[in-house]
Amino acid sequence: MGAYRSVVVDTTQSPNAKLRPVPISTVKMEDGFWEPRLKLMRDVTLPSQYDIIEETGRLDNFRRASGKIGGDFKGAYFNDSDVYKWLEGVCLALAYRKDPNLESLADKAIAEIAAAQDEDGYLDTFFTFERKKERWENLRDMHELYCAGHLFHAAVAHHRATGKKTLLNVAVRLADHLCSVFGPEGRPGTPGHPEPEMALVELYRETGRGEYLKLAQFFLDQRGRGVIGGSPYHIDHKPFRELEEVVGHAVRSLYLNGGATDIYMETGDETVMAALERLWRNMAERRIYVTGGVGARHSGEAFGDDYELPNLRAYAETCAAVANVLWNWRMLLAKTEARFADLVELALYNGALSGISSDGKGYFYSNPLSDRGRTRRQPWFDCACCPTNIVRLIGYVPGYIYTTSEEGIWVHLYASNTAEVFLKGRKIRITQRTDYPWEGDVEVGIEPEDEEEFSVFLRIPGWCEGADVSVGGEVASGVGPGYFEVRRRWRKGDRVGLSMPMRPELLTSHPWVESNTGKVAIRRGPIVYCLEQADNPAADVWNIEVNPYAPLRANFRSDLLGGVVVVEGEAVACDTGAWKGKLYQPLKAVSALRRPLKFTAVPYYAWANREPGPMAVWARSS
With contacts defined by CB under 8 A, how many residues of the chain interact with its own copies? 54
Closest distance between its own copies and the C-beta of residue 518, in Å? 1
Is residue 473 within 8 Å of residue 425, measured between CB atoms? no
Closest distance between its own copies and the C-beta of residue 501, in Å? 13
Q: Among 592, 594, 602, 558, which Cα is nearest to 575's?
A: 594
What three-state secondary structure class fits 430? Answer: strand
* x/- letters, 547..566, toward its own copies (CB under 8 A): -x------------------
* Residue 290 near its own copies by CB under 8 A: yes
Window 178-237: residues binding its own copies (CB under 8 A):
none
Among 520, 527, 530, 602, binds its own copies (CB under 8 A): 520
* Residue 509 near its own copies by CB under 8 A: yes
Task: Please state at what angle helix 270-286 crosses helix 318-335, rounded to 10 degrees.
Answer: 130
Closest distance between its own copies and the C-beta of residue 506, in Å? 4
Closest distance between its own copies and the C-beta of residue 307, in Å? 8
Give the DSSP H/E element, type plus range, for residue 424. none
Q: Which stretch binds its own copies (CB under 8 A): 86-94, 393-401, 414-422, 536-544?
A: 536-544
Q: Provide Rg for the chain, Cα atoms.
A: 24
Which positions ≥6 away from 4 have C-beta within 8 Å?
Answer: 23, 25, 26, 422
d(CA 234, CA 247): 9
Among 67, 210, 466, 518, binds its own copies (CB under 8 A): 518
* Residue 416 near its own copies by CB under 8 A: no
* x/- letters, 427..446, toward its own copies (CB under 8 A): --------------------
Q: Among 90, 107, 108, 98, which Cα is nearest to 2's?
A: 98
Q: Among 238, 241, 236, which Cα is nearest to 269's?
A: 241
Closest distance between its own copies and the C-beta of residue 586, in Å? 5
Among 12, 299, 477, 555, binds its own copies (CB under 8 A): 299
Nearer to its own copies, 199 or 290 (CB): 290
Angle at 109 between CA 166 and CA 26, to 5 degrees: 65
Q: Are strands 441-448 and 426-434 parallel, antiparallel or unpaired?
A: antiparallel
What three-state secondary structure class fits 161? Answer: helix
* Residue 511 near its own copies by CB under 8 A: yes
Q: Which stretch binds its own copies (CB under 8 A): 166-174, 281-289, 403-411, 467-475?
A: 281-289
Q: 170 vs 27, 60, 87, 121, 367, CA distance in Å? A: 29, 18, 14, 8, 36
Among 52, 115, 227, 590, binds its own copies (CB under 8 A): 590
Among 51, 244, 270, 285, binds its own copies (CB under 8 A): 285
* Residue 598 near its own copies by CB under 8 A: no
User: DSSP states of 521-544 as a string?
Assistant: EEEETTEEEEEEGGG-TTS-TTTE
Please list the residues that pair with 555 across neighbouring strands: 566
Count of other CB atoms within 10 angstroms of residue 273? 22
* Residue 587 near its own copies by CB under 8 A: yes
Closest distance between its own copies and the C-beta of residue 554, in Å? 16
Is residue 144 within 8 Å of residue 193, measured between CB atoms? no
Among 105, 161, 168, 284, binds its own copies (CB under 8 A): 284
Rounded to the nearest 10°, the torsion over CA 605, 610, 615, 621 is -90
Among 208, 512, 555, 593, binds its own copies (CB under 8 A): 512
Nearer to its own copies, 57 or 310 (CB): 310
Q: Which stretch binds its own copies (CB under 8 A): 97-105, 203-211, 436-444, 571-579?
A: 571-579
* Residue 513 near its own copies by CB under 8 A: yes
Q: Catalytic site residue 301?
A: yes
Give the DSSP H/E element, type plus range, for residue 114. helix 100-116
* Residue from 147, 385, 530, 574 carrying the catalytic annotation: 385
* Residue 621 near its own copies by CB under 8 A: yes
* Residue 542 near its own copies by CB under 8 A: yes
Q: Which stretch binds its own copies (CB under 8 A): 5-13, 184-192, 207-215, 277-285?
A: 277-285
What three-state secondary structure class fits 195? Answer: coil
Window 364-383: residues binding its own copies (CB under 8 A):
370, 372
* Residue 581 near its own copies by CB under 8 A: yes
* Residue 12 near its own copies by CB under 8 A: no
Q: Which stretch binds its own copies (CB under 8 A): 134-142, 224-232, 439-447, 575-583?
A: 575-583
* Residue 343 near its own copies by CB under 8 A: no
Q: Among 157, 145, 68, 70, which Cα is nearest to 114's?
A: 68
What three-state secondary structure class fits 616? Answer: strand
Rounded to the nearest 10°, the torsion over CA 606, 609, 614, 616 is 10
Closest distance between its own copies and the C-beta of residue 274, in Å? 18
What three-state secondary structure class fits 80? Answer: helix
d(CA 530, CA 357): 16
Nearer to its own copies, 237 or 297 (CB): 297
User: Which active-site residues does the annotation give?
Assistant: 301, 385
Instruction: Using CB under 8 A, list all residues that contact its own copies.
Output: 281, 284-286, 288, 290, 298-299, 304-305, 307-308, 310-313, 370, 372, 505-515, 517-521, 540, 542-543, 548, 574, 576, 579, 581-588, 590-591, 618, 620-621
